[in-house]
Amino acid sequence: MSAETPYARQIVLPNVDLGQPWGVAVDAWDNVYVADYDNRRVLQLVAGP
């Protein structure tokens, strides 16, 4: 079964070694933020063109 839908597309990212991801947010510019609790950081995935 494909993970793609008209609303979402599966993409492969580099290994970012998440430790207990806790939350996800998207800003007004479509950048995605992932709260990584165990590594005590927030990852920003910048929206493409």
Chunked mean pLDDT (size 10), the chain, 49 residues? 52 75 93 90 84
Look at the chain and report how many structural domains it folds into.
1
Identify whether 36 is part of a domain: yes
Identify whether 41 is part of a domain: yes
Sign of CA dihedral 24, 2, 19, 44: negative
**Start-to-end CA span in the chain (Å):** 28
* Distance in angstroms (rounded) separating the CA atoms of residues 14 and 28: 24
Identify whether 8 is part of a domain: no
Residue 1: the pLDDT is 40
Enclosing domain of residue 36: 18-48
* Distance in angstroms (rounded) separating the CA atoms of residues 46 and 29: 9
Do 21 and 34 touch, CB atoms closer than 8 A?
yes
Residue 23: the pLDDT is 93
* Distance in angstroms (rounded) separating the CA atoms of residues 49 and 30: 10
Residue 29: the pLDDT is 92
